[in-house]
């Protein structure tokens, strides 16, 4: 779970770590403390979709606290990246 800045921006230095974690089937969800829309991360402006190219999952407008709970529910059912991606796609 990453708390992005602005509309979910992630420092470039974390892209490698995000890619490695998702390769190991560890979901990485990016949420923002700012009010954001429910649009997917890759549809957000200003390059916020770059994290999705490395495997990050957008929180679909949920604040970090709620996104963390949603992530716990998604992986608590025995899933990894695909389960978390499917869960957040339903939001």
Tokens of 24: 């190991």
* Euclidean distance between the first and the last CA atom of the chain, given in angstroms as a whole number: 17
Coil vs helix vs strand at 40: coil
Give the H/E segment covering residue 87.
helix 81-89
Enter the pTM of the model: 0.80
- Return the pLDDT at 42: 56
Q: Where are the domains of the chain?
A: 2-89
The reply to whether CATH 3.40.50.40 applies to domain 2-89 is yes
Position 58 confidence tier, pLDDT thresholds 50, 70, 90 = confident
């Amino acid at each position: 779970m990453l708390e992005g800045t602005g509309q979910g921006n992630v420092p470039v230095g974390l892209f490698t770590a995000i890619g490695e974690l998702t390769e190991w089937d560890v979901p990485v969800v990016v949420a923002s403390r700012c009010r954001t829309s429910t649009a997917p991360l890759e549809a957000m402006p200003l390059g916020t979709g770059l994290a999705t190219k490395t495997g990050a999952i957008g929180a679909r407008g949920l604040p970090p606290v709620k996104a963390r709970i949603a992530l716990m529910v998604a992986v608590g059912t025995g899933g990894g990246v695909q389960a978390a991606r499917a869960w957040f796609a339903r939001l």
